[in-house]
Structure 1
Amino acid sequence: MSLKNILPGRLGFGTAPLGNMFRAIPDGDARATVEAAWEHGIRYYDTAPFYGAGLAEERLGKVLSTRPRDSYVLSTKVGRVVLDERETDVPDFGEKGGLFEHGNPHKVLHEWTADATERSIEGSLRRMGVDRFDIVWVHDIAQDFHGDAWVQKFEEARTGAFRVLSRLRDEGVIRAWGLGVNRTEPIELTLALDEPRPDGFLLAGRYTLLDHAHALQRLLPMAQEQDVDMVVGGPYSSGILAGGANFEYQQAPPEIIERVRRIKALTDEHGIGIKAAALQFSLAHPAAAAVIPGATRPSRIAEDTAALDETVPAAFWKDLRAAGLVSPAAPLPDGA
């Protein structure tokens, strides 16, 4: 089923920050942020066991489990099974080392087999206090976590998670499944398979104002050809496009800071917010079904909803193109 037929709007809420990504967030702030998302009409929520070893799911569930289940769309991910035992070692997250060091102290099993997939879903349902998920993503079978071993992890998922999720979709237990990754190659490999067939994918950080050229070369043409939709994660490139200092989960390098400065100069010249430019750019691609920025404060939710509705003049997009700040192949709003 097309994601565009499932998702209730073009703006969703990504909960990675609620897993204490980078820093510890008070429970009250996390709850207020989810409540703000609901009050602003957001009805698509994405989470994962990996986000703070179940912490993000727990925090999201405390709010959503009190709402009518048919009133929102919910997605989580498989590939990590949160165990009851306490983690005693420093987890190895590849390039993402230290990402959730402030999360729950549980040990996490990284596995994409059929058995682990079913255990992961059962654990997520229990933590969230809900009876079902609409979409399930296969999480992080890519180079950024596994280096050269990512192909082996992909094969584990192909013969395990892919088949379980296809069966659950066919049985009507879930409505859709796909990959949730930070790299394009695993999705390209999946789309090249004869079976099983995903319904869509969540691509984080690879279709933003700062990083989109690679996705446009091969992945997005393949997705359009197969009528497979994309949820855009990380539209602010880990925060640098929203006033933060991080790019790709690390301190932004000088060349990225300079690129953001040039984009910001154009948004200032046209009297618009850089958040509006970032969100509306990501949604301009025909394959984009929704964008899911994260937040840890209610005020950020208000900013995101306003940014989506902000009027961005066609002249801005033309100037952005003329300045060489977007790929010539990137679709822009208003056909600019």
Structure 2
Amino acid sequence: MAGNDQAACADGPDFGPLAIEARGLVKRFDGVTAVDGVDLTVPRGAVYGILGPNGAGKTTTLRMLLGIIDPDRGYRRILGADRPHDVAHAIGYLPEERGLYPAMKAVDAIAFVGALRGLPLKEGRRRGRELLEQHGLGYAADRQIRQLSKGMAQQVQILGTLVHKPRLVIFDEPFSGLDALNQGKLERMMHGLAQDGTTVIFSTHVIAHAERLCDEVAIIAGGKVPFAGPVDVARDRIPAQVRLETRAQDGPWRAALPADARHEGSFWFFSLPDTGIEPLLRALIEGEAGILSLSIERAGLHDAFVAIAGEAAARALEQEKPEELRR
């Protein structure tokens, strides 16, 4: 869904290498701690995911970053500003609760959302028509929102989030309610925005989206962030797994296998040794194990999430996953 209309970012001074920096964010509601000491550092131009089950504190964290609510403790700096409202014109925000006026035409809805960020209505309508054409919805420009399907209305709201050419875009559960085709379009749009220098932050409870899209993730559970950083670093929390098939069933080569090696059928399974695979390969060859196959599989983000956030948080994610992704 990326287009040339988003290539230029909103005017403003350079804000350095970080789009967002937050330290020790705490928020309580009626005595209940929803967010408990969250730290986030989001590089400029990154696609950054906030991953966790519903109720983990994702939406509250995003709202504090945006200045919709203030933290009880901690601070946040967004696009170089200590007060989020000072840079609101340079931010696009898609809330989890979707909402457009049903009687508005699609093009007017896009222009209206842009006007909330300081874009003149006339320019918003012009850009809105261009965006709708670019994304195959030109025929719907003058239709009322109530005449559109749920998925089409959500696409209109996404385009409204981008019409003022923001430097930072924050999506709260953006894939909810989209079919597979439009989810793919949204993923491509996010990549396109990042390539153009726009920082993209999105919350999700679907690990597959975070693993495909993100440069970095913050894993959040119970209002805390036990991990924030590159996806690869999260996956490296779990050693890569080796699957080995040998012709010989026994021999001196077996002494070279790691202590966690287990034998299932004709295969051996074990963690990749810290020394790498080469010393083990030499021992297997010299010991005449007769290697039939050997593969190394790196841990996925799901396994990393379980290791970092715990089984209960992982089960909660699985229960919230769309049915088509559970199959």
Q: Same fold (TM over 0.5)?
A: no
Structure with bigger RCO (C-alpha 8 Å, 6+ apart): 2
Q: TM-score, normalised by structure 2?
A: 0.36
Q: TM-score, normalised by structure 1?
A: 0.36
Structure (1/2) with the larger helix percentage? 1
The structure with the larger Rg is 2
